[in-house]
Amino acid sequence: MSTAGISHLGAYVPTTRLVLGDPGGPERAVAGFDEDAITMAVAAASDCLDGDSQGAMLDRSTIDALIFASASSPFREKQAAALVARALDLRSDIETTDIAATLRSGTGALMHAADKVIAGSARRVLVVVSDMRTAEPRTAMEANLGDGAVAFVVSAEDTIARFVQRHSIANELLDVWRSEDDRCVKQWEDRFVTKHGYLENTEAAVTALLEKAGLTAADIDQAALYAPDARSHRTLSRKLGLATVVDPMFGRLGNCGSAFAPLLLMAALTKAPVGQKILVAAYGDGADAMIIEVERPAEGRTGRLGLTGHLARRREITDHAVYLAMRGLFPDRRERQGAAPISATQHFRDRDADISFAAARCRDCKTMHFPAQRVCYKCHRKDDFERAPMAGLRGKVMAYTFDHFFPVPEPPLVATTIEVEGGCRVYLMMTEAAPDSLKVGLPVEFCFRKIHEAGAKPNYFWKCRPRTEN
């Protein structure tokens, strides 16, 4: 019988940290005003596919399917996976799937990917799990929630860890939910949620899994456990008798929803020795539990920055009002959703540039043009161009300006002219940059971000940010 496992890993954690209480105290990672579950998914997947300092970039044409898992997709009806695939410039003939509406969508996506590989319907499946959940301001849940994304390539070939056994429990329980028009997550009283939801279901799933696999808690080397908060995490670990659990990072990262347990799995796999058995458990209307066994060291497969590198990239915000504005929960002057959207025909015509960030390269003189043109401005050759994706290229700042009047949660807006590798120049907004750090020649990289929400929907394009080296 064929087996399936994980061959490549990647992660994304927003740079912004909301400090809880006094400076130097607990914090959580929060997405910027121009980020959402889709933009974070693109960032995590890019990190996974781009390799690291020791590993080569994975050929994107070898990806046969993409599964996007999230409890906070910005779309109620529109496939996010297709948008992520286009932003990653994957093949158009791949299978795309969304798994949503549950905190165990991440583990469900990994199970689904393994099934596809074992069945032979896909050679490599890219699984991307991303969540950006919002709670009511000034609540205990708000203090626990964090944002982040993780990506895995599931394959039968050249794996660093294989799926050994799994078990799931379905148990409908109205404990945590978000209705159609809810901006924020709702939940019943904490003790009810913890006792009758999280603890009972997760313990039952893990206990059944160990019995099915013929193992005991003592056979588990590391456990990556979802938990709504640090106290619940400690209680479950004790009840299960697990000796070693992956640090849940509540004071650094926060509860990242459906991405929480998969992010902890990545943390475990990054340094796990060969032969270790890792338990993964997630909760949501029941529970999923899996055992994964390490087959080889993960060096060269952990992403360009990986989880550790992204956690190291941080900037603090201590003003809660700024966070509320970033989340759209605080009155500000930003563009409202009722503003006029771009036309459907314009969006269709410009998708290759706007979503895939693809330029056109003259076949004769190799000059790059963005956006694509019919006539090369250098050699004047007409209608003789090849497609040239730019998302993975580097660039440098040629000019920049500050706009202190454009309404953003953290002014000023930075507009730049960027010279891309190959000679093309593009005009982009910059993100994640302090105004006093800007200078001509500053190395930058490109990131997929939300530009505005005109027409009551998120609209995406590419921005630049200061490049972080491995």
Q: Along the chain (470 residues), what's the average pLDDT of each consecutive run of 10 residues?
A: 88 95 86 97 96 76 98 95 97 97 97 97 98 94 96 96 97 90 88 88 98 97 96 96 95 96 98 97 97 95 94 91 88 50 77 94 94 93 95 95 91 96 92 94 97 83 89
- The residue length of the chain stands at 470
Question: HSE of 45 in the Cβ direction (CA atoms, 13 Å)?
Answer: 33
The answer to whether residue 221 is domain-embedded is yes
List the strands of the sheet with 65-70, edge to edge.
95-100, 65-70, 124-131, 148-155, 5-12, 161-170, 286-294, 277-283, 222-225
Assess whether 321 and 348 both reside in one domain.
no
Euclidean distance between CA atoms 88 and 357, whole angstroms: 9
Count of CB atoms situated within 10 Å of the CB of 382: 10
Assess whether 75 and 120 both reside in one domain.
yes
The answer to whether residue 350 is domain-embedded is yes
Q: Report which secondary-structure segment, H or E, holds 134.
A: none
CB of 63 closer than 8 Å to CB of 126? yes
Looking at residue 329, its pLDDT comes to 85
Rounded alpha-carbon distances, angstroms, from residue 101 to 37, 70, 78, 283, 381? 13, 7, 14, 12, 51
β-pair partners for 399: 417
Assess whether 122 and 264 both reside in one domain.
yes
Assess whether 321 and 427 both reside in one domain.
no
Distance of CA 422 to the CA centre of its chain: 29
Looking at residue 331, its pLDDT comes to 57
The answer to whether residue 337 is domain-embedded is no
CB of 358 closer than 8 Å to CB of 387? yes
β-strand 358-362 against 368-369: which pairing, if any? antiparallel
And the tokens for 163?
Answer: 């799926």
Assess whether 367 and 290 both reside in one domain.
no
The domain boundary residue, chosen from 298, 326, 354: 326
Assess whether 315 and 364 both reside in one domain.
no
Assess whether 401 and 297 both reside in one domain.
no
The answer to whether residue 222 is domain-embedded is yes
The domain boundary residue, chosen from 265, 292, 326: 326
The pTM of the full predicted model, rounded to 2 decimals, is 0.94
The answer to whether residue 271 is domain-embedded is yes
The answer to whether residue 287 is domain-embedded is yes
The answer to whether residue 331 is domain-embedded is no
Looking at residue 333, its pLDDT comes to 44
Assess whether 156 and 255 both reside in one domain.
yes
And the tokens for 57?
Answer: 């970039």
How many domains does the chain contain in total? 2
Assess whether 141 and 55 both reside in one domain.
yes
Assess whether 114 and 187 both reside in one domain.
yes
- Find the helix packing angle between 80-87 and 37-49, rounded to 10°: 40
Euclidean distance between CA atoms 41 and 73, whole angstroms: 10
Assess whether 243 and 368 both reside in one domain.
no
The domain boundary residue, chosen from 285, 300, 326: 326
Residue 191 burial (10 A CB sphere; 0-12, 13-18, 19+): exposed
Task: Supply φ then ψ for residue 388, to 5 degrees.
Answer: -135, 90
The three-point CA angle 63-267-57 to 5° equals: 35
Euclidean distance between CA atoms 211 and 224, whole angstroms: 18
Assess whether 271 and 378 both reside in one domain.
no
Q: What is the CATH number of the domain that holds 87?
A: 3.40.47.10
The answer to whether residue 332 is domain-embedded is no
Looking at residue 194, its amino acid is: T
Structural domain of 389 = 344-466
Q: Which residue has the tokens 């005109």?
A: 454
Nearest in space to 389 (alpha carbons), one of 359, 423, 365: 359
